[in-house]
Structure 1
Amino acid sequence: MASPSALDPVVTERIGELLRAHGLRRMASRIAVLAMLEPVHGHLSVAEIDHRLHECLPTDDHPPDLATIYRTVTTLVEQGVLHALTLENGVTTYGLAADPHHHAVCTECGSIIEVPAGRLAAALEHAMAGSSFTLSESAGLTLHGLCPRCQALGDTGRSSR
């Protein structure tokens, strides 16, 4: 398992505080998984987390195996540290459960962008006003479209025609 010392001590301390705030022990696997997710500001699958761990950790360090990563993300979802988003292809991705947000999934590259809930609040209130449906506070939307990078690539492709 990856030792916390293999990661930036500032990151390790910040993640340790996050775990303690959720009543969880500081375990090397939890710290390693969260250290891979924290800078993403989005979501990663277990395979992507595993790949990044193998890329980032020193060769003499042993990253958590896939089974440990699966157990770790499951625990972190159950404890409210992470949230899971299952995509149309059946792959489940994981992101930090910070501020309330929705998800925008790129139909071209599959990247996931988190959209602050406040940006869609008025639209959701308007939709609920026209029906007898009430959304729970944990309700989330998944929007599908093109991310800025794929939009730019599409514009480049169209301009060269």
Structure 2
Amino acid sequence: MGMKRLTKQRKAVLEVVRSAKNHHPDAAWVYTEVRKKVPSISLGTVYRTLDTLTEEGYLVPLSRPGEALRYEANLDGHLHMVCRKCNQFFDIMHPLPDLLSEVKARYPTFAFEDVQVEYHGICPTCRVEQELLLQNKPGQL
């Protein structure tokens, strides 16, 4: 399905999300970055554009309880790793089993729509920071 209209604003929002490699931005971050290209754009327009691009299948929304909705343009099947310290998402490009089809077959009366698998841990940057803090902490007697 193609875009309804390739407006300057829509193109800028899509380019910003696509350029956010290894970063799954929220609307506020997208707004800040898009304003560098289209200074007159409003936050409301960014939200509406993100919704439209999601509906058209150009973006995938990532939701986590208590956090702002994030977006990604990587439409290839993949998993996510999420750092417990910085809450950053990292893509795992690994072949996925078709879990949704398997579960739908076992529970045919349930109306499944999606499956999300995440791995949680501490990213390399946060691990280094944590180790440095531990090394510099004065000893306790």
Name the TM-score, length of structure 1 as normaliser: 0.67
CA distance in 1: counterparts of 2:61 and 2:41, whole angstroms: 20
If each structure's helix is expressed as a fraction of its own residues, which one has the higher value?
1
Q: Which residue of 2 aligns with 1:109?
A: 86
Structure 2 residue aligned with 1:149: 125
SS at match of 1:44: coil
- The answer to whether the 8 A contact 1:101-1:117 is kept is yes
Compared with structure 1, are the counterparts of its residues 46 and 116 closer, same or farther at alpha carbon in structure 2 (3 Å cutoff)? same
Q: Which ranges in structure 2 are unaligned for 5 or more consecutive residues? A: none
1:39 aligns to what?
Answer: 19
Alpha-carbon spacing, 1:97–1:79, altered in 2? closer, same or farther (3 Å): farther
Counterpart position of 1:10: none
Q: Quick check: 1:101–1:140 contact (8 Å CA) kept in 2?
A: no
Task: Give the structure 2 partner of residue 99 of structure 1.
Answer: 76
Relative distance call for 1:133 and 1:160 in structure 2 (3 A) is farther
Give the aligned residue type for 2:48.
R
Q: How many residues align?
A: 129
- Give CA-to-partner distance per residue, 1:29-63, whole Å, 9 cap, x none: 11111121112123111011112223x33xxx524
Across the aligned residues of Structure 1 and Structure 2, the Cα RMSD in angstroms comes to 2.8
Moved over 6 A (4+): none
| CA distance in structure 1 between the aligned counterparts of 2:60 and 2:134, rounded to whole angstroms | 37
**Which residue does the alignment assign to 2:49?**
72
The CA distance in 2 between the partners of 1:63 and 1:53, in whole Å, is 10
The Cα of 1:150 is off from its aligned counterpart by: 0.8
Q: Which runs of 5+ in 1 are unaligned?
A: 1-21
